[in-house]
């Protein structure tokens, strides 16, 4: 696998790997804590793993200033 560099675009990213229902709740909590309108929060990527867990990356700005 080729090495991957984190983008230097000013966003903070957090990756999770959770069972489907826990993943859904974690994403909702992330949006509550960092509202899209202020932090440009979004689910940057997601995929279902072989064991049924969902791996996803949440992206947001470091502050709402």
Mean pLDDT of the chain: 91
Average pLDDT over residues 30-55: 97
DSSP-derived secondary structure letter, 10: S
Structure confidence at residue 50 as a pLDDT band (50, 70, 90): very high
Structure confidence at residue 18 as a pLDDT band (50, 70, 90): very high
Residue 59 CB: number of other CB atoms within 10 A? 19
d(CA 49, CA 59) in angstroms, rounded, equals 20
């Amino acid at each position: 696998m080729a090495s991957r560099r984190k983008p230097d675009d000013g966003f903070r990213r957090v990756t999770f790997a959770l069972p489907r229902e826990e993943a859904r709740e974690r994403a909702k909590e992330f949006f509550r804590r960092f509202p899209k309108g202020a932090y440009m929060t979004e689910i940057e990527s997601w995929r279902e793993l072989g064991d049924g867990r969902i791996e996803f990356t949440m992206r947001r700005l470091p502050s709402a200033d």
